[in-house]
Amino acid sequence: MNVYDFVKENKIIAIIRGIDKKDIIPVAEALYDGGIKIVEVTMNTDDAPEMISMLNKKYGDMLYIGAGTVLDIEMASQALDAGAKYFITPNVDEDVISFSLNQNIGIIPGVMTPTEVVNAYKAGAKMVKVFPTSILGSNYIKELQGPLSHIPMIAVGGVRPENISDFINAGAVGVGVGNSLIDKVAIKEGNFRKITEKAKILLEKLKDVHK
């Protein structure tokens, strides 16, 4: 199954950013225990390629593991070598999109405007990341879906338990969740169970999605 189908089926991508290498395995385990199936490690995290490789060795059969904040082909190559199954970017970089397509790797580029949505789609992206939705809100997804409903969109930025169903109901096929799920204080305290609980709450809130 490719990343696009995985996102549509599971809805939530856990965004792992800025944690220590020693914590990557317990964080991933906590996410999996909470029901999360898709994770991305952002490339601006120290030791990101090594973390992706570590995750693949331990959870490659259980988690769909990719790289986020892929800004250029060099980062994309490093992530690919580490075993990333997909790339997510904060912007539309046609070189990265082209590289991904040539390597048969899923690519979800970041967009904000309708022009960027269409340009990313024309460049070959099969799904886009509307970012930052912390500013734009779920209604913006709904407005974009008006003329562009043929382009699957995920919402990233400011997604929390209180609003996750709003984004899905507005037309997003999935969401990326970072800070409200990857609790840095809990990690520092070694309380990985808290991440599991947060994951379960997010998934529970998805039941509020209109059928």
Q: Over the stretch 178-191, which tens digit does the pLDDT of each residue have?
A: 999 999 999 999 99
Of the chain, the percentage scoring pLDDT greater than 70 comes to: 100
Q: What is d(CA 76, CA 95) in angstroms, rounded to the nearest whole number? A: 10
**What's the rounded mean pLDDT across residues 126-131?**
98
**Measured CA distances, 149 to 15, 68, 134, 153, 209 (Å):** 25, 24, 21, 9, 18
Neighbours of 123 (CB within 10 A): 17
Q: Is 204 in the active site?
A: no
- Look at residue 211 in the predicted model and tell me its pLDDT: 59
Annotated catalytic residue: which of 11, 40, 85, 198?
Answer: 40
Q: Is 200 in the active site?
A: no
- Look at residue 176 in the predicted model and tell me its pLDDT: 98
Task: Give the confidence band of 208 by pLDDT, cuts at 50, 70, 90.
Answer: confident
**Measured CA distances, 38 to 18, 119, 142 (Å):** 18, 26, 24
Annotated catalytic residue: which of 11, 85, 129, 198?
Answer: 129
Q: Which fold has domain 3-208?
A: TIM Barrel (3.20.20)
- Look at residue 90 in the predicted model and tell me its pLDDT: 98
